A and B are shown apart, each in its own frame.
Chain A
Amino acid sequence: MRQALIKEQAQTPGKWWRRWLRWPASSGDWVFQTLTLLAALCLVGLLVAMALYLLAEAWPSVTLFGPAFLTSTAWDPVRGVFGALPAVYGTLATSAIAMIVAVPLSMGVAIFLAELAPDWLRAPASFLVEMLAAIPSVVLGLWGLFVMVPLIRDPVEQWLGGNLGFIPLFQGPPFGVGFLAGGLILTVMSLPLITAVARDSILAVPNSQREAMLALGATHWETISRAVLPYARSGIIAGVILGLGRALGETMAVTMVIGNGYQVTLQLFAPANTMASKIATEFNEASGDVYIGALVELALVLFAVTLVVNIIGRLLVYWTVSDTSTRGQ
């Protein structure tokens, strides 16, 4: 149907741009088409304008530091020397912690909600998970600062440092605020997103797949792990990417618990900053073209990192899907 429509329009005589835009040849459709086209152009225009504005604002810093901005660990407003590496590292490290904790946890929740939970529990539990996504990040940040951080400082970091202190990750003084706290607050924020998407893709697996596996003499767990999860995997990966996207860009809650350090270190207990939290913390008091330029360039880098991660994620989904249809050819 759609194919036929496209073909018909491709053959419609008229100016090249009419064909190019698949412009309706002779009907009242053009009002609707114009409106939707304008909306689409607005979006593209906004994106381009934003990128250009960021680039223009960042220009003093871009010309001054060049590519070294990405590899420098300095951030000294007094001497006017700026580098992005600790912030990039902070963003990637906290997001990695978040994914390491959130992915297995949300997979467990999603499998439980979709496959195992009794009927009476399913709806309220799903609702609670969705509510978690609706909590404003500043509220989560307050909770993180006043409840989670003290708990991380005392039992968690004390214990890890005391018992597993030979691992570089768990060395250093237990500040409470730092990489670990940032990563864990991001876990709380990405968990409901990943769970919801994974649960929906598990629910979308046709029953015939479950029955096929059960009829072979599979246990419940074998049915889930060998028939349901493989079938749902591209949706699950998409959910993880969505969660990762949120973790990379999240600002408020992370800023409140990450401790405002600026270093590249393996020590998880150390105070840190992400690109987003660095910008949020310093934008108000920044003065001078270079200082502001450095912060805006940080935003550009964040923009680029998010873009790259999303592209990798899309490719991952594409590969797993195409892998199943062309394997061995």
Chain B
Amino acid sequence: MEDGQDAKIVVDGLNAWYGSVQALRDVSLTILDRKVTAVIGPSGCGKSTFIRCLNRMHEVAPHTRVQGKVTLDGQDIYAPGVDPVTIRRRVGMVFQRPNPFPTMSIFDNVAAGLKLGGLAPKAYLADIVEKALRQAALWDEVKYMLKRNGTALSGGQQQRLCIARALAVEPEVLLMDEPCSALDPITTLAIEELLQELSREYTIIIVTHNMQQAARVSDKAAFLFMGEDRTGFLVEYGDTKEIFTNPKDPRTEGYITGRFG
């Protein structure tokens, strides 16, 4: 495929609505396997809506609608008869604000996804939890307090706990909706380093408001923008280096140089 690399997700003519308000119009792009793709753009341009369409989380909110085609390894995830649950097992998600389960211990938070569907591999549970926490660069900080409550952690630790929780079920794709927006610069840096590590095994799509962050962590970048009608659309998609050094569209250039947005 593109650059001789494998396509993981192909989005073709994606439209999304909240009630009668259209949030996304005709977005088409190809997400590459085991690369970090950044989704950038001004507030309200549909970045979050876009990634929520990739694991069928958009439809969780009431009165929402999706139109268009999204394929994951060639399988149309919106085809009739496709259970969104199976899609979400393959496409994990980390949210903007840390949302650990407050009634569960740190261990149980990470194991929560593994215990779903009644097929908890009890023997390996501890191993998988440890691996996920190591991947999320949290293991050393919590290894002696796994039975403590997840909300006892700091904000940055909670976010890494949520990343570990998403990684524990070994998804193929990890969607991250501004995962660092509530975090301090040091923790942000830790999570950015984490992304580099993770991109060896996972396809990562990250929504971010932070231009430097997008430039630092991503291989590909998609710039979404919105018109007067507040409906988001894709302006430009390409290699991050190209987007940031030699944008083709004047709107992209204006946004990344900070002239608006």
Contact = CB atoms under 8 A, between A and B. Distances in A.
A217 B57 contact: no
B148 A214 contact: no
Interface residues of A, number: 26
Interface stretch (A54-62, A84-92, A159-167, A204-212): A204-212
B21 to A, nearest CB: 18
B147 A327 contact: yes
Contacts of A206: 99
Contacts of B169: 216-217
A233 B103 CA distance: 9
A213 interface: yes
Nearest to A329: B148
A212 B149 CA distance: 17
Given A226-B112, A230-B103, A329-B148, A211 B57 contact: yes
B97 A216 contact: no
B86 interface: yes
B88 A214 contact: yes
Interface in B136-161: 145-149, 151-152
Given A216-B169, A226-B112, A325 B152 contact: yes
B92 to A, nearest CB: 7
Contact of A216 (B60, B113, B147, B152): B113
B244 interface: no
B149 A327 contact: yes
Nearest to A220: B85
Name the residue among A208, A217, A325 with the largest chain B CB count within 10 angstroms.
Answer: A217
A121 to B, nearest CB: 14
B103 A208 contact: no
Given A222-B116, A328-B145, A216 B165 contact: yes
B166 to A, nearest CB: 7
Interface in A187-241: 206, 208-219, 222, 226-227, 230-231, 233
B15 interface: no
Nearest to B145: A328
Contact-size category for B: 35 or more
Contact of B95 (A119, A208, A219): A208
Contacts of A327: 105, 147-149
A176 B241 CA distance: 83
- Most interface-central of B55, B88, B103, B169 (chain A CB within 10 A): B103
A216 B145 contact: no
B93 interface: yes
Interface in B21-68: 55, 57, 60, 62
Interface of B is mostly: loop
A63 interface: no
B92 A215 contact: yes
Contact of B112 (A119, A216, A233, A328): A216
Nearest to A219: B85
Contacts of A284: none
A217 B101 contact: no
B101 A214 contact: no
Contacts of A227: 101
B99 A211 contact: yes
Contacts of B152: 325
A210 B62 CA distance: 13
B244 to A, nearest CB: 30
Contacts of B89: 216-217
Contacts, number: 88
A208 B57 CA distance: 12
A226 B118 CA distance: 12
Contacts of A231: 101-103
Nearest to A327: B149
A326 B149 contact: yes
Interface in A297-329: 324-329
Of A213, A219, A327, most buried by chain B (CB within 10 Å of CB) is: A327
Contacts of B55: 215
Given A208-B97, A222-B116, A217 B85 contact: yes
A328 B103 contact: no
A325 B88 contact: no
A216 B170 CA distance: 10
Contact of A324 (B102, B117, B145, B147): B102
Contacts of A218: 85, 88, 113, 116
A328 B148 contact: yes
B172 to A, nearest CB: 12
A327 B109 CA distance: 14
B162 interface: yes
Nearest to A222: B116
B165 to A, nearest CB: 7
Task: Report the 10 A-B pairs with minimum CB-CB distance, sorted nearest first.
Answer: A328-B147, A217-B89, A216-B113, A230-B103, A215-B93, A208-B99, A217-B88, A212-B99, A328-B148, A324-B103
10 contacts: A211-B57, A214-B57, A215-B95, A216-B89, A217-B117, A219-B85, A324-B102, A325-B149, A328-B147, A329-B148
Interface of B: 55, 57, 60, 62, 85-86, 88-89, 92-93, 95, 97, 99-105, 112-113, 115-117, 145-149, 151-152, 162, 165-166, 169
Interface of A: 119, 206, 208-219, 222, 226-227, 230-231, 233, 324-329
